[in-house]
């Protein structure tokens, strides 16, 4: 991203979450603050969505990854987690909804330029940040960025839940490994939800065409996709950085879990969402089913 400018892809993800509330009724991921925090004209958002032939697919993936993360977080809070770290927060509204703010300390981390924009949007929307929230400005490719968390009160001895959505593809391999190593060796134990995509050359022709069109779009915004993984490579990377286990859902599993589609429908290649845990959290992470009951949400035919 360009220095001095908030992340344009963070704005795009927020727009998809907002439009999901309008066109899909929030049937996968209900977020009553999504439209207000974005602060844009609803008609303009709908027009933008309908002009993009791939918007419905991406909108539902973003809704599913948010739902997956917050389902996992709900289970973590019920089993002892009292710290939540939102890496690459963008316009995520998790910290401003009472169910989490009443149960845990929350740390929102993002690039300083994006975080300033986020804080301005929070104020303009009339949203009051909870007292338990700390803003941590970081650059994932800068040196020792993790030191900022302890300076802001993060206790590494406590079990901690991390979300890291919409960030991994934009980082190089070294930056990803460094972040995973820090999380994977939390003395108090850690859980992490992240998303990633398979390498484009492994995708079926239509999926590859869509992927390349999206890659060109984000590159034009100054935010290039730099990293891809296949499922085994991601599992190996997590193990090497201190994680004891993970649940990886590919497109077919996401569709079955959250969109009411047949379990065998679709490919396992494309966008993935992952819940990973360290040994100290392994028992708690596996106490209950890993995903919520299916929710039916069809794309708007006009989107």
pLDDT digits (tens, 9 = 90+) for 51-63: 988 899 999 999 9
pLDDT digits (tens, 9 = 90+) for 241-274: 999 999 999 998 999 888 887 766 666 788 999 9
pLDDT digits (tens, 9 = 90+) for 165-182: 999 999 999 999 999 999
Structural domain contains residue 150: yes
To the nearest whole percent, how much of the chain has pLDDT over 70? 91
Minimum mean pLDDT range among 155-159, 279-283, 293-297: 293-297
Structure confidence at residue 298 as a pLDDT band (50, 70, 90)? very low
pLDDT reported for residue 123: 98
DSSP H helices in 125-155: 147-151
Residue 31 has pLDDT above 60, yes or no: yes
Rounded alpha-carbon distances, angstroms, from residue 122 to 34, 96, 127, 164: 11, 9, 5, 20
Structure confidence at residue 293 as a pLDDT band (50, 70, 90)? very low
Bridge partner residues of 272 (DSSP):
196
Distance CA 68, CA 247 (A): 11
Question: What CATH number has the domain bearing residue 70?
Answer: 3.40.50.150
DSSP H helices in the chain: 8-23, 34-38, 42-50, 55-78, 98-101, 112-124, 147-151, 173-184, 205-220, 231-240, 251-258, 282-285
pLDDT digits (tens, 9 = 90+) for 63-104: 999 999 999 999 999 999 999 999 999 999 999 998 898 889
Structural domain contains residue 296: no
Helix axes of 42-50 and 55-78: crossing angle, nearest 10 degrees:
120
Bridge partner residues of 191 (DSSP):
161, 277
Structural domain contains residue 294: no
Structural domain contains residue 104: yes
Distance CA 74, CA 193 (A): 12
Structural domain contains residue 60: yes
Summary mean pLDDT of the chain: 89
206: containing domain = 8-285
pLDDT, greater one: 288 or 239 = 239
Structural domain contains residue 136: yes
Residue 146 has pLDDT above 60, yes or no: yes
Residue 200 near residue 215, CB atoms below 8 Å: yes
What is the tally of structural domains in the chain?
A: 1
Residue 286 has pLDDT above 80, yes or no: no
Structural domain contains residue 32: yes
In the sheet with 160-164, reading across from the earlier edge strand, the strands are: 133-137, 105-110, 83-87, 160-164, 190-197, 271-277, 245-249
Average pLDDT rounded to a whole number, residues 105-126: 97
How is residue 171 written in tokens? 């980082």
Structural domain contains residue 280: yes
pTM for the full model?
Answer: 0.91
Distance CA 225, CA 222 (A): 10
């Amino acid at each position: 991203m360009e220095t001095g400018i908030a992340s344009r892809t963070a704005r795009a993800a927020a727009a998809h979450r907002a439009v999901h509330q309008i066109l899909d009724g929030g049937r996968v991921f209900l977020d009553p603050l999504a439209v207000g925090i974005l602060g844009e004209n609803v008609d303009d958002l709908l027009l933008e969505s309908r002009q993009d032939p791939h918007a419905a697919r991406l909108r539902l993936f973003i809704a599913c990854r948010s739902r997956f993360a917050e389902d996992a977080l709900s289970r973590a809070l019920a089993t002892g987690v009292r710290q939540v770290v939102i890496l690459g927060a963008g316009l995520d509204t998790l910290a401003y909804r009472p169910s989490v703010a009443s149960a845990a300390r929350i740390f929102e981390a993002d690039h300083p330029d994006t975080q300033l924009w986020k804080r301005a949007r929070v104020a303009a929307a009339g949203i009051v940040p909870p007292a338990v929230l700390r803003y941590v400005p970081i650059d994932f490719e800068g040196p020792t960025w993790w030191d900022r968390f302890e300076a802001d009160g993060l206790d590494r001895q406590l079990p901690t839940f991390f979300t890291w959505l919409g960030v991994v593809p934009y980082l190089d391999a070294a930056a990803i490994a460094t972040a995973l190593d820090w999380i994977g060796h939390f003395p108090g134990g850690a859980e992490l939800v992240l998303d990633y995509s398979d390498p484009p050359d492994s995708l079926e022709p239509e999926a590859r065409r869509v992927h390349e069109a999206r890659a060109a779009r984000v590159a034009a915004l100054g935010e290039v996709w730099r990293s891809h993984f296949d499922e085994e490579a991601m599992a190996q990377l997590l193990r090497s950085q201190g994680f004891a286990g993970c649940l990886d859902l590919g497109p077919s599993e996401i569709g079955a879990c959250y969109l009411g589609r047949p379990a065998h429908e679709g490919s396992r290649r494309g966008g993935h969402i992952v819940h990973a845990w360290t040994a100290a959290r392994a028992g708690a992470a596996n106490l209950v089913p890993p995903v919520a009951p299916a929710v039916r949400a069809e794309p708007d035919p006009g989107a």
